Structure 1
Amino acid sequence: MMKRKLFISGILGLGVLCMAYSTDHGIAINPTPGGKKLKKIVLSQQFEFPGKVANDSADPQDEDITQAFEVGYNAANGIRLNPRAIQFVQDYMEKNGEDLRKMKGWAQPYFNMIDGVLKKYGLPEELKYLAVIESELKSTATSWAGAVGPWQLMPQTARDLGLRVNRNIDERKSYTKSTHAAAKYLRDLYREFNDWLLVIAAYNGGPANVYSAIRKSQGSRNFWKIQNYLPAETRMHVKKFIGTHYIFEGQGSVTTLTKAEVTEQLGVIATYLINRRLTTDELSNAKSMEVSGKYYSGAIVKNIMMDPAEFNRYNPDFDAIMGSNNNAYEIKLPADKMELFIANKYIILNESVQMLLSGATVVK
């Protein structure tokens, strides 16, 4: 069922949450003292020259913010924001930054819980900021369309995800249970779209609206190309997520980039390594063994009947390392695939050599 969200005119009134209680953990959340004024940061210059912030006039109270941006955009990160988002993010940060900064203290227990759940499902922890723009983390938030809770789940969607929703109980209001449900939904949406900006758009406006926008844009799956075919609310929702992410993190991540931007800026390996972390269940079911020699992923996936993307998730940098002088690797596979690998490893090695000799591409 298509999900619709609570209309939020900016991320305001966060003080209402200051005395909220986590019913799942029994943790009382207390506010931090009044936040410091957020200094305007010239994003356009920063995104053009990663690692540099126009802060010559920064006063001491803004040092923590400017330092966060400097650290976030050093060579180790260098994630660039799409030029089409810069002005919106700049305005959003200027308008909402001070209120959102106050959340860093009192909302930390919530964020810690959400991080743990997202990690269990193999999802980027930065997706927690979706709950901020959905509901301001309010467990009682209710939209005109009937979406309820911190993750603003519609009744049927919540039931499909395993939550109880009836006259006597509404588990959408439970921080822990609703977070598990939202994580399942986000995981399924990522499997559907394989692009975090499209996932956020679909979470807000429903997959049908995203597919409609894709069709109207001649099949493009780039959010920045299809955005004008999305409902205005959904389009703004994605940009609010990006703005909130920058306020909290002082930098971007795979969740603020299109799939193409992730590949361009972080590389193919990073796409699998960061976007599709192995879940707890996947890790517990995986088997490992050290291999050496001229093994090639193309031959492996062919013989064990495994999707190449899944293989790369389990074994990032495999071809690059196996193609180097130090070609030893602890290969990790689901238990059933490992059995096939062991049973066919000599065939796989022979086919690997043949593929490499015939010019197969090695990812480096």
Structure 2
Amino acid sequence: MILPEIKREGERYFLSSFKLPDKLTFAGQPIPLDNWQVRERIEYEFYQFLEDQGESIILAKRTGRCFPPAEKQLADAGLPDDLKYMLLVESKCVAAAYSKAKASGPWQFIPSTGRRYRLKSDAVRDDRRNLEMSTEAAVKYLRYLKDFEQNDWFMAMASYNAGEERVRRLLKDQNITDYWKMHGPRETMRYVPRIIAAKEIYSQPEKYLGLSKKDLYMPMETETVTVNVKDSKRALASIAEEFGTYFLELKMLNPEFKKDVLPRGTYQMKVPRQTCPSRCFKQDKTP
């Protein structure tokens, strides 16, 4: 494979011009890059990200929109800010991401773990797709895993991916206590190195991708409204019109709603913040 060139200011660069630093930390823990297989595993993920520049640029841009809720909730819980990079590996910051294992949402909760942390999933809605709600659940789960794995964040992240009991069995069977010496499923072997590589690249988008902060997608200004559906059902398109938006935008702001209509009930929904006259709720517009 011929690696793509990266052009900066009229000069030619190749991916090999980017080097993984000699020292890295994640969540306050040093990464043993002096171990040959550790360095190779992280470098593999590092260059995999950089090889697909278009994908990497879009991922970097999405961080401006999906990181702020995670940053706030991680800080409020006293957990490391670095854990937000899991979002890029789990779902690429896509709310509707869905896996073959039936994992759903930005944090890719499987149904059983979602239920454990009170994320509702039924025919109408899937709270695993809601960024704020799923982040709250992820924070609780990660705090539990940190305690379960004796404050080792590498092991906690591996457990998030493969399940804590499975990781514990692997450690016991291999008579080890160090994640970096563990042999396990290929996905789990790649998972932590990929998150570490994501932190290195996406914490410095200007260095690796030529992007500044102003290039990132900014969160949309929204407000939460109460929607009362009194008839047997109501179309989201009708709700969107009432609140000064359109169907696609309402769906994107509320990815947890799975259908195009809502049955009778009361719902909380995000809508664009009201700015009359360009975005004025229907009931506030002059007839």
Corresponding residue of 1:187 = 143
The answer as to 2:167 corresponding to 1:210 is: yes
2:175 matches 1:198: no
Q: 2:87·2:107 contact (CA, 8 Å) conserved in 1?
A: yes
Partner of 1:239: 193
Aligned to 2:3: none
Partners of 1:101 and 1:248 within 8 A in 2: no
Give structure 2 stretches of 5+ with no counterpart. 1-11, 205-287
C-alpha RMSD of matched pairs (Å): 2.5
From 97, 111, 118, the counterpart of 2:67: 111
Equivalent-residue separation in structure 1 for 2:99 and 2:155 (angstroms) = 22
SS where residue 168 of structure 1 aligns? coil
Q: Which residue of 1 aligns with 2:212?
A: none
Residue 249 of structure 1 deviates from its aligned partner by 3.0
User: Deviation per CA, 1:261-314, whole angstroms, max 9, x where unpaired?
Assistant: xxxxxxxxxxxxxxxxxxxxxxxxxxxxxxxxxxxxxxxxxxxxxxxxxxxxxx
With over 3 angstroms needed to count, the CA separation of the structure-2 counterparts of 1:162 and 1:148, relative to structure 1, is same
Identity %: 27
Partner of 1:107: helix, strand, or coil?
helix
Q: Partners in 2 of 1:221 and 1:161 — Cα distance?
A: 28
Counterpart code for 2:188: T
Q: Is the 8 A contact 1:140 1:149 kept in 2?
A: yes
Secondary structure of 2:120's aligned partner: coil
Q: In structure 2, what is the equivalent of residue 309 of structure 1?
A: none
Q: Is the 2:62–2:93 contact (alpha carbons within 8 Å) kept by the matching residues of 1?
A: no
Deviation of the 1:174 alpha carbon? 0.3
CA distance in structure 1 between the aligned counterparts of 2:196 and 2:68, rounded to whole angstroms:
20
Structure with the larger helix share: 1
TM-aligned CA distance change 1:93 to 1:225, over 3 Å: closer
Instruction: Specify which of 97, 100, 111 is matched with residue 144 of structure 1.
Output: 100
Structure 1 residue 42 corresponds to structure 2 residue 19:
yes
The alignment partner of 1:166 has SS state of coil
Shift of 1:246: 1.7
Distance 1:204 1:37, change over 3 A: farther
Q: Within 2, Cα distance between the matches of 1:103 and 1:92?
A: 15
What CA distance in whole angstroms lies between the structure 2 residues aligned with 1:80 and 1:208?
24
1:269 corresponding residue in structure 2 = none
Q: Which AA in structure 2 matches 1:238?
A: V
How many residues end up aligned between the 2 structures? 184
1:128 has 2:84 as partner: yes
8 Å contact kept, 2:59–2:93 = no
CA contact (8 A) 1:147 1:153 kept: yes
Aligned-partner Cα distance in 1 for 2:121–2:70: 21
Post-superposition, which runs of at least 4 consecutive aligned residues in structure 1 deviate over 6 A? none
The structure carrying a bigger strand percent of its residues is 2
Cα distance, 1:183 vs. partner?
0.8
2:48 to 95, 107, 113: 95
Contact conserved, 1:217 with 1:225, CA < 8 A, in 2? no
Offset at 1:167? 1.6
CA 1:177–1:198 in 2, change beyond 3 Å: closer, same or farther?
same
Match 1:249 to one of 178, 203, 213: 203
- Alpha-carbon distance between aligned partners in 2 of 1:247 and 1:104, rounded to the nearest angstrom: 9
Q: Secondary structure at the match of 1:221?
A: coil
Q: Deviations 1:6-65 (Å, cap 9, x if unpaired)?
A: xxxxxxxxxxxxxxxxxxxxxxxxxxxxxx97743233xx41xx5xxxxxxxxxxxxxxx
Distance 2:14 2:110 in 1: 35
In the aligned structure 2, how far is the partner of 1:209 from the partner of 1:166? Answer: 28
Bigger radius of gyration, 1 or 2?
Answer: 1
Secondary structure of 1:143 counterpart: coil
Give runs of aligned pairs for residues 1-364 of structure 1, distance below 5 A.
39-40=15-16, 41-43=18-20, 46-47=21-22, 79=30, 81-82=32-33, 83=35, 84-97=37-50, 98=53, 99-193=55-149, 194-218=151-175, 220-226=176-182, 228=183, 230-249=184-203
Output the CA distance in 2 between the equivalents of 1:214 and 1:124.
25
Distance 1:167 1:124, change over 3 A: same
